[in-house]
Amino acid sequence: MVGLTIAIAILLFQGDHSVPRVRSFTWQDKQIGVENDRFVITFTRPMDRASVEKNLQINPPLPGKFSWAGRRLVYTLISPAPYGTEYQLTLQKATDKYSNSGKNGAILQPFNAKFRTRDRAFAYIGVEGENSGQLMLVNLSAAEPKPIVLTPKDLVVSDFKFYPQGDRILFLANDRNSQRQGALQQQLYEVTTGIHTNSPEQQPVSQEPAGKLKLVLDNKDYQILKFDLSPDGQTIVMQLVSRRNPGEFGIWTLQPNSTPKPLPGKPGGDFLITPDSKALAVTQGEGLAIVPLTGSQAQPLDFLPKYGSILTFSRDGLAAATVKFNQDFTRSLFLVNTQGTEKELQRINGSILNAKFDPTNQTLYCLFTKLVSGEQYQEQPYIAAINLKTGETKKLLEFSPNQRQVQMNLSPDGIAILFDQPLITPQPAAGISDAVRTDDNAAIVTSRLWLLPISSINTTEASTTAQPEELPITGVRPVWLP
């Protein structure tokens, strides 16, 4: 007993000589997206923080900031990790916190882990040949990035939205016979993409192959004019018109495993779901109203009286880009935030077609048009980047006049823009009676797709910007995987 007591005392006096280890790493063997902006490493023992920060390596590099909470290290990225990339994290030679306190510290057991970002992929609507009107997918991260057909030939897709994990797409489509006859018979479907993600916060999505179709809502009682999908993928908002009574129309919501419900107050106009998936921004008369998506409350949560439309929200929901229609027939682009600040960014004599915040909320990428002087009315589109801190505007790309149907989409990691260049004809022509059509019902004959790199754009410099790259694909309305 005396001997055991002495041995125990010696061990207690010398301290804990067990080797410190990494207990958990939240991104280990995971696939992250733009919403994953930080990871956590938990150690088995308190660590010497300086030695950990010095020896932590990520390859390729991902700049970030360190913060600590006891044995937990939190690393916050400065900018989103580029998609389609695999990363290796290593931590060696770090020591516990006793190393510099006069006691015998221990060296961390070497730790290695891998993680990757989501695939760099996008979807679009085909416009030529047998793929006309079909929803297509291209995975640029695949060994052979070839277009994959997602929808059957008897459907002509008009609009679509990705679900948040990218494993499914919600889309609106007309059957081809109705399209040829000029009848609106659109129904709402969802289809699998074959993209399988393993997010840190959610369970892995089911391993469904690409092209598995499901009817979400038919058109027996109501015509479906347009829709939006909430960022959490749990709410579909639609504008419906009754077939029995065309004067009965409004905005409806649809939750999983339920039937559509009309939104209280019967709001009308264009709409956009807020980033928290709890409210809807909708145009009402002389302004914008923010109305709740759940509950029986009919009164708006907020009302912005002088704006005619809303273009987009920042990812954190703290700011929005809105449009004001001025009395002198110009249009103004405003930045509005939750603190009540309203800042005019641009006033133009053309149109404001689109706007997207970059992931860091420092730049707003916009699709404008300007009026071209001459006898005929012409609008010339161009893409511009606005620095939200300085207000400086940099023109990135200018199109030919009368290409107002151009649409753009910013990649979730903020390093590239996809855009199309449709060639349209106002009158139905032979062989294109069932063609994909624009919002004003003009038939799209063909359309090229382009990729514009925009990484490291500085809107205060006058340096030459990267040139767009034409993709070997014809289609319209390209949208990046979330």
80: tokens are 């989103």
Q: Is residue 32 part of a domain?
A: yes
Distance CA 92, CA 112 (A): 9
Please choose, from the candidates 147, 36, 38, 25, the residue with its C-alpha nearest in 3D space to the C-alpha of residue 83: 36
445: tokens are 């004959």
pLDDT of residue 462: 44
Q: Is residue 41 part of a domain?
A: yes
User: Is the pLDDT reported for residue 127 higher than 70?
Assistant: yes
Higher-pLDDT residue of 436, 66:
66
Instruction: Based on DSSP, count helices (H) and strands (E) in the chain, helices before strands.
Output: 3, 35
Q: Which of 28-32, 115-119, 291-295 has the lowest mean pLDDT?
A: 291-295
- Give backbone dihedrals phi and psi of 470, rounded to 5 degrees, phi first: -75, 130
Q: What is the DSSP letter of 70?
A: T
CB 386, CB 392: distance < 8 Å: yes
Please choose, from the candidates 303, 291, 315, 124, the residue with its C-alpha nearest in 3D space to the C-alpha of residue 231: 315
Distance CA 211, CA 145 (A): 17
User: Is the pLDDT reported for residue 13 higher than 70?
Assistant: no
Distance CA 275, CA 311 (A): 13
Higher-pLDDT residue of 378, 458:
378
pLDDT of residue 104: 55
Q: Burial of 196 by CB count in 10 Å (0-12 exposed, 13-18 middle, 19+ buried)?
A: middle
CA atoms within 13 A on the CB side of 337: 10
User: Is the pLDDT reported for residue 38 higher than 60?
Assistant: yes
Q: Burial of 358 by CB count in 10 Å (0-12 exposed, 13-18 middle, 19+ buried)?
A: buried
pLDDT of residue 197: 85
Q: Is residue 273 part of a domain?
A: no
Q: Is residue 31 part of a domain?
A: yes
User: Is the pLDDT reported for residue 1 higher than 80?
Assistant: yes
Higher-pLDDT residue of 314, 178:
314
C-alpha to C-alpha distances, 316 to 251, 276, 347, nearest whole angstrom: 25, 8, 26
Number of independent structural domains in the chain: 1
Distance CA 372, CA 349 (A): 10
Indicate the residue type of 198.
N
269: tokens are 């106009």
Q: Is residue 447 part of a domain?
A: no
Please choose, from the candidates 149, 153, 191, the residue with its C-alpha nearest in 3D space to the C-alpha of residue 171: 191
Provide the β-strand partners of residue 64. 77
- The whole domain housing 40 covers 15-117
Residue 222, Cβ neighbours under 10 Å: how many? Answer: 20
Q: Is residue 33 part of a domain?
A: yes
Higher-pLDDT residue of 210, 305:
210
Q: Which of 293-302, 405-414, 434-443 has the lowest mean pLDDT?
A: 293-302
**pLDDT mean across residues, the chain:** 88
The mean pLDDT of 448-458, rounded to a whole number, is 80
Please choose, from the candidates 464, 443, 471, 461, the residue with its C-alpha nearest in 3D space to the C-alpha of residue 145: 471
CB 229, CB 160: distance < 8 Å: no
Distance CA 89, CA 233 (A): 31
462: tokens are 């006058």
* CATH of residue 94: 2.60.40.3710
Q: Is residue 371 part of a domain?
A: no
User: Is the pLDDT reported for residue 441 higher than 80?
Assistant: no
Distance CA 296, CA 294 (A): 7
pLDDT digit string (tens) for 196-246? 888 887 776 667 899 999 999 999 999 999 999 999 999 999 999 988 887
pLDDT of residue 405: 87
pLDDT digit string (tens) for 420-439? 999 887 655 445 566 788 77
295: tokens are 């509950």
User: Is the pLDDT reported for residue 32 higher than 90?
Assistant: yes
Q: Is residue 78 part of a domain?
A: yes
The mean pLDDT of 104-130, rounded to a whole number, is 92
Q: How far apart are the first and last CA of the chain?
A: 66
CB 58, CB 73: distance < 8 Å: no
pLDDT digit string (tens) for 155-177? 999 999 999 999 999 999 999 88
